[in-house]
Structure 1
Amino acid sequence: MSGVQHRKVTQEEDGMRLDRWFSIHFPELPFSRLNRIIRKGEVRVDKGRVKANQRLETGQTVRVPPIADAGVKPSKPKPINEKDVQFLRDITLYEDDQILVLNKPHGLAVQGGTGTKRHLDKMLESIPNKKGEKPRLVHRLDRDTSGCLLVAKTRSAASHFGKIFRSRSARKIYWAVTAHMPTPKQGKISCFLARRATEDGEQMHVVQQGEEGAQHSITHYSVTDDAATRVAWVTLKPVTGRTHQLRVHMAQMKTPIINDPRYFSIENWEKPEGIGEGLHLHARRLALPLPNGHRLDITAPLPAHMQQTFDLFGFNAAQYDPNDEELDED
């Protein structure tokens, strides 16, 4: 490929990150090389310098520098893994022409990383759309968090629902089981979070406004049930979506989520026998507007380890209808 190109951002691509735009238009271009030409200023948007994570707007012009063919291998169709296809079918809660809602299992990574070979993003290569494109993750869940995860089948759907999440129009309800009971039983947590280095790697910490990397975070919470204040079933409604937000917020209240390997810090806490193994945090419900004007409202059943704990303490999820909950808190 030779010569500079100037390409217009389409309506379907509105809100798309620049690096994602390149991965769609130039799938043969290595990510490391893309970062290099962006840093050098060879890639521009409306004649201005940009970063890889910049979001594009309809009508903008992307300058694409000459990309030599040497050393660039043409992309090949990804092989279909039938086991992944069946697995994805088994965990699908909802599907239409534009999206999938999956019930992500506890312990399964959403995206790859160091030492992570099996993850949902890789599995999605086995269910391409009619154009041969891999479905796209619209948001993320931690590896150890289970529940509702939205996946877009098309570029236009990814753009639409990406805007929904960024505008906070998507309403999410999480269920957690915590050590001790939050006091008061209902309230709002508002604080600033930032990533900080620790002996065990980077973690999120509560910081003061204005500190480096500080981001505002808001969560509404309410105690749904408790077992003599030893443990509590807590409903969480995040307004923002910061990394590990719910886990840090519960730990900040001295009621950390049970089996949280990063943020559980109660010394000498005796875990009741019979509690399920694994982080007790579940993305129970997802509600958001569809492009056709209708509203999608999906509930994910509890994972086995949390159901075990619910049974142990007599928490009855079947009698608690999430559709009765008010989702419009701000």
Structure 2
Amino acid sequence: MSAKVQLVDVGPEDAGQRLDNFLMRHLRKAPKTLIYRIIRKGEVRVNKGRARANTRIEAGDVVRIPPVTVPDKVVVNESDIPDIQLKRIEESILFEDKDLMVINKPSGFAVHGGGGINWGVIEILRVLRPLAKRLELVHRIDRDTSGCLLIAKKASVLKHLHAQMRADQFDKRYLAIVMGSWPKNSQKVDLPLRKDHLPDGGWQVKVAQDGKEAISFFKVEQHLKGADLVSVKLKTGRTHQIRIHALAKGCALMGDDKYGSREVNKKYRPLGMKRLALHAQFLGFTHPVTEERMLFEAPLWPDFKKIIQALSIA
């Protein structure tokens, strides 16, 4: 990893990209926590000025990247990743062409390495597709969340898809199981969210008036025993947005040990739901090259199907 300061000129292919995503490509072996730390401390500069993780860089910008030392344990070699994980991600690909791919991410897979995780989906895909030199995540979903995940194979494709996201042209719909009964007349949840860093180095998200705009639309699809199956359409894509908006309505997501009740969640593990009951079911966007409008549906994984069947009301 870098032993001296790097001054990197931003080319047209990276214009419009977030600073954190830009750094993750240049510091591929660095943990995510390290990247956010050097940004937060002001060690990363854009045109000699401090910048935030969500700063959009432009062609002609100069990014200062400080010397970075990464522990050997985060280095990913092809032989390090178990064949079963490589096979599982390969089998989860829903669509692939020369420009992009969509996968039905299994729960339990982080989208990228860092924070004590040696590799995630993007590192696995780079092993599976060694000739695709610019494989990058277009967006992220939580480690415990399953479902649609979009990956770009070219910088120009990534830039175009990020522009669509900023213009609210993505169609992102989820399925979730919430505890209790979803309140009537609460389809739209418009509550700002703030991400707070904790003294122990962790973080949590909560509703706060000084937070970022966050809008979700919930619809009850099926009443279950002690729970509801809901679909959720996102207008914004904040960290843990669905989980916190559901919690704010008194209906924590099943399997959410961070914000919900661990004791309650234990009851559902024997029924097959041992993780967060959240699935990115649909993803829609315009193909950057063909200009075709595309909509993908990620089939439910067996554990999600099993818990719905177990709790169905006859």
Would you call these one fold, judging by a TM-score over 0.5? yes
**Corresponding residue number in structure 1 for 2:277:** 280
Give the deviation of 1:275 after TM superposition.
Answer: 5.3
User: What's the secondary structure of 1:158's corresponding residue?
Assistant: helix
Higher-Rg member (1/2): 1
2: CA distance between counterparts of 1:24 and 1:279?
Answer: 29
**Corresponding residue number in structure 2 for 1:178:** 178
**Corresponding residue number in structure 2 for 1:215:** 212
Are the equivalent residues in 2 in contact too, given 1:172–1:283 (CA < 8 A)? yes
Give the deviation of 1:121 after TM superposition.
Answer: 2.5
User: What's the secondary structure of 2:164's corresponding residue?
Assistant: helix
Equivalent of 1:289 in 286, 296, 303: 286
User: TM-score if structure 1 supplies the norm length?
Assistant: 0.75
Structure 2: runs of 5+ lacking an equivalent: 68-74
**Corresponding residue number in structure 2 for 1:324:** none
2: CA distance between counterparts of 1:116 and 1:269?
Answer: 25
User: What's the secondary structure of 1:148's corresponding residue?
Assistant: strand
Counterpart of 2:203, as a letter, is E
Are the equivalent residues in 2 in contact too, given 1:136–1:153 (CA < 8 A)? yes
2: CA distance between counterparts of 1:127 and 1:269?
Answer: 35
Give the deviation of 1:55 after TM superposition.
Answer: 1.7
**Structure 2 vs 1, CA of residues 225 and 117 (structure 1 numbering), >3 Å: closer, same or farther?**
same
**Corresponding residue number in structure 2 for 1:225:** 222
Give the deviation of 1:295 after TM superposition.
Answer: 0.9
**Corresponding residue number in structure 2 for 1:262:** 258
1:243 aligns with 2:239: yes
Are the equivalent residues in 2 in contact too, given 1:127–1:135 (CA < 8 A)? no
Give the deviation of 1:134 after TM superposition.
Answer: 4.5
Aligned CA RMSD, in angstroms, stands at 3.9
Structure 1: runs of 5+ lacking an equivalent: 69-75, 317-330
Give the deviation of 1:251 after TM superposition.
Answer: 1.0
Output aligned runs, 1:1-330, within 5 Å. Answer: 7=9, 9-10=11-12, 12-18=13-19, 20-21=21-22, 35=38, 39=42, 44-45=46-47, 49-51=49-51, 53=53, 54-58=55-59, 60-62=60-62, 79=78, 83=83, 85-128=86-129, 130=131, 133-184=133-184, 187-196=187-196, 197=198, 201-207=202-208, 209-210=209-210, 214-227=211-224, 230-265=226-261, 271=267, 274=271, 276-291=273-288, 292-314=290-312
Are the equivalent residues in 1 in contact too, given 2:102–2:150 (CA < 8 A)? yes
1: CA distance between counterparts of 2:246 and 2:186?
Answer: 12
User: What's the secondary structure of 2:163's corresponding residue?
Assistant: helix
2: CA distance between counterparts of 1:285 and 1:162?
Answer: 18
**Structure 2 vs 1, CA of residues 8 and 234 (structure 1 numbering), >3 Å: closer, same or farther?**
closer
Q: Deviations over 1:111-163 (max 9, x none)?
A: 22332224213212213464x51511111111110000011111111111122
2: CA distance between counterparts of 1:256 and 1:63?
Answer: 41
Are the equivalent residues in 1 in contact too, given 2:134–2:155 (CA < 8 A)? no
User: TM-score if structure 2 supplies the norm length?
Assistant: 0.78
Q: Deviations over 1:232-275 (max 9, x none)?
A: 11001111111111011111111111111011149879946735
Are the equivalent residues in 1 in contact too, given 2:247–2:253 (CA < 8 A)? yes
**Structure 2 vs 1, CA of residues 186 and 22 (structure 1 numbering), >3 Å: closer, same or farther?**
closer
Counterpart of 2:244, as a letter, is V
Q: Deviations over 1:66-104 (max 9, x none)?
A: x99xxxxxxx99647693553332110111111111111
